Structure 1
Amino acid sequence: MSVTITKYSQFNKAILSVLNNPAGSTLKLALVGSGYTFSAAHTDWSTSVESYEITGTGYTAGGQALANLALNGHVDNATIVDGDFWLDADDVLWSAATLTARRGILYNATTGELLASILFDDTPADISVTDMDMLVQWSELGLLQLD
């Protein structure tokens, strides 16, 4: 089992809006079930993904806001320069949860723009927890990097 993170096609545009207005942007991680089929062409949370969001004990609709978000990027003429951008945040924890999910969707809750899909198990299979913590732990190198 390995985790796969795939950016949506509009990732650079969506992250630029966050870089230009970090105080006015709320990035969230939401969980979706196996009914959602990833397409890089999906652009908006409410029209492309929201109907596939899971429900469960300990989970709140819309997902969880990323805490202590850290953005570092080099922008040249409104374009992110590869190798000079990273995104990091605190790990995401759903405590005493009972839920089943296939993917996490990283999106800007302020604009609805989709950033990335996180496939938790590339077999692919659902991840289930019953009355226990579900932790999404980011790499020590950050959540996302462009290289």
Structure 2
Amino acid sequence: MKYLRVALFGLIAGLIGLANAATIHVPDSFLYNSVLGQIVFGTDTIKCALAPSSYVYNRATHSKRSDVTEITGTGYTAGGQVVTPTVTNDTTNHKLVIGIPQIIWTGSTTITARQLYCYKLTGTASADPLIVFSDFGADVSSSGGTFTVNPITIEYTNF
């Protein structure tokens, strides 16, 4: 694979804040785990959760959910939400596209987060492999309202 291009479609929005476009990170372990069959989209349960600004992402060493600090707050459930990613094999443009859908925490949600991370659920945080991180660039908050993270697209090109 010559290039890994990651794109974000949309912005991250909370009730009282709007973040700039996010920076997307793919852990070094993700492609390796996928090739070995340890992450299978369409079969495995994939979840996305939120991390605070105090968490410092490390691409090389953070490979499991237990490596990440998760936020707490009213209306937020530990472990995040189940998502259904899409996987498209684009043979015309020679790329593989993984899409993480929009994620919405509804109701009276009062939280502040700096990052979203997605992982395969195994039932044990120390065994849950990480898939992708989205750093909002600044804290995003909701105060008694909805917290929304817009879709993420990961493209593997020229392989």
C-alpha contact 1:14 1:115 (8 A) present in aligned 2: no
**2:115 is the alignment partner of 1:98:** no
Structure 1: gaps spanning 5 or more residues: 75-82
The corresponding residue for 1:35 is 54
Structure 2, unaligned runs of 5 or more: 1-19
Amino acid paired to 1:54: I
Percent same amino acid at aligned positions? 30
Q: Which has the higher helix share?
A: 1
Kindly report which structure 2 residues correspond to 1:1-147, keeping only aligned pairs within 5 A, or say none: 1-16=20-35, 17=37, 18-19=39-40, 22-23=42-43, 25-41=44-60, 42-46=62-66, 48-49=67-68, 52-67=69-84, 69-73=85-89, 83-96=94-107, 97-110=109-122, 111-121=127-137, 125-138=138-151, 143-147=153-157
> Quick check: 1:15–1:115 contact (8 Å CA) kept in 2?
no
Say what the alpha-carbon RMSD is for the aligned residues.
Answer: 2.1
What whole-Å deviation, never above 9, does each CA across 1:29-66 have from its counterpart, x for those lacking one? 110111210100211112x11xx101111211001111
State the aligned residue count.
Answer: 128
Identify the structure with bigger relative contact order (alpha carbons < 8 Å, sequence gap 6+): 2
* Distance in structure 1 (CA, Å) of the matches to 2:89 and 2:58: 26
Q: Give the TM-score of the pair, scaled to structure 1.
A: 0.77
Taking the aligned partners of 2:57 and 2:81, their CA distance within structure 1 comes to 20
- Kept in 2, the 8 Å contact 1:59–1:94? The answer is yes
Q: Specify the code of the residue in structure 1 equivalent to 2:75.
A: G
Distance 2:82 2:155 in 1: 19
Match for 2:97: what amino acid? W
Given that residues 92 and 137 in structure 1 are in contact (C-alpha distance below 8 angstroms), is that contact kept between their aligned partners in structure 2? yes
Q: Which consecutive aligned stretches of 4+ in structure 1 deviate over 3 angstroms post-superposition?
A: none
CA shift, 1:73, in A, is 4.4
Distance in 1 separating the partners of 2:33 and 2:74: 31
* Length-normalised TM-score, structure 2: 0.72
Residue 134 of structure 1 aligns to a residue in which SS? strand
